[in-house]
Amino acid sequence: MKGKKYEKRQWVGLLFVAPFIIGFLVFKLYPFVMSFNYSFTEFDLFAGAQYVGLENYIKIFTNDRDFYNSLNVTFIYTLISVPLKIAFALFIAGVLTTKIRGINLFRTIYYLPSVLGGSIAVSILWKFLFVKDGLINELLAVIHLGPIDWLGSPDIALYTISMLTVWQFGSSMVLFLAGLKNVPVDLYEAARVDGAGKVRVFFKITLPMISPIILFNLVMQSINALQQFTAAFVITNGGPLKSTYLYGMMLYQQAFEYLNMGYASALSWILFIIIVGLTAIIFKSSSYWTYYEDGGEF
């Protein structure tokens, strides 16, 4: 009798996890495996796939200037946006640890950009703010500065769209906030007794204690930045002069504008290998700058 009940519970459990398993197999694993297969084909949506071996990869590395340009632009974008976003999120989290009235309301307000930041609507809003006759230049005109061609200058446009990513600091901020609240107070008290200043306390106590959260944010934000697409597509469409032509945009154009699915699949696998490599480097380096109270052993 007990055996039958146990067996029935097993089926109920499987029934609950079935939507996730089916969704993972159909929408994650199958496209993942098939994209690797298509990367070795010349695949047109209307003409079908034809096996071409390594031709797509050879063409990408030897005969595609856009590949190197988009890769360079994406790396610069990542180097700008990720450190700024992490630093800004940590700064705001530090401010929000102060004990003032209505602090929970301020925390909610600061988190709002992350809820809205990735949407098409906010990207369009960002575009209207930074066009030559937009609100930002009108505010600068009040103090007799500008106008600045935020989106039309190849030297500035990438920095402008990077600011949109920095603005979406809410998720990182929440993690830092939790980390800062968990730093033992007695460590700060002992440092004060020893005469340590605020700067020294920050670098010797606060940063080491929240270094695992910095590691997590660094990995996740780097992965997101390397896959960024929306901001460049909506705000600048890759211009001017392809100065904001991110890798995600090139991948999108090859797949859905030129319908070169095989070529786009090869590009996506190169990006996947870059992300895996970068993540491995970050984890390898983390042993030198990340502190775990239990020594980092599981």
CB neighbours of 135 closer than 8 A, spacing ≥ 6?
Answer: 128, 129
Alpha carbon distances (Å) from 16 to 6, 8, 20, 22: 16, 13, 8, 11
pLDDT in tens, 31-79: 999 999 999 999 877 777 889 989 999 999 999 999 999 999 999 999 9
* Tens-digit pLDDT profile for residues 147-201: 888 888 899 999 998 888 888 888 888 899 889 988 888 998 898 888 888 899 9
Give the separation between CA 274 and CA 78, rounded to whole angstroms. 13
97-109: average pLDDT: 75
pTM of the full structure: 0.87
Give me the chain's average pLDDT, please: 87
